[in-house]
């Protein structure tokens, strides 16, 4: 099970990095000479990829949390 949590962690980080890079590309490619409707659509598309990147980061956090060793209980 620990191997699965490690794989989930690394794949989630890769997924988050790709999504956030694509979101950055989307935000940086918005040009002031575009029409307002195209700018709004591009911004919404970039926010969608940002949302997916945040989900990837959350899943990476869950994967890291699953890798923790349980505390030793005495008693």
Give 30-74 pLDDT, tens digit per residue.
Answer: 888 889 999 999 999 999 999 999 999 999 998 898 888 776 676
Dihedral sign computed on CA atoms, order 20, 24, 29, 34: positive
User: What does pTM read for this prediction?
Assistant: 0.81
What torsion, rounded to 10 degrees, do the Cα atoms 7, 10, 16, 19 define?
-80
What φ, ψ does residue 71 adopt, rounded to 5°?
-70, 145
What is the rounded distance in angstroms from the CA atom of residue 75 to the CA atom of residue 60?
34
């Amino acid at each position: 099970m620990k191997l699965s949590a490690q794989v989930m962690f690394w794949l989630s980080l890769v997924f988050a990095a790709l999504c956030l890079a694509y979101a950055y590309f989307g935000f940086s490619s918005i040009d002031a000479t575009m029409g307002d409707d195209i700018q709004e659509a591009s911004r919404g598309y970039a926010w969608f990829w940002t949302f997916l990147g945040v989900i990837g980061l959350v899943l990476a956090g869950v994967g890291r949390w699953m890798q923790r060793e349980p505390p030793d209980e005495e008693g």
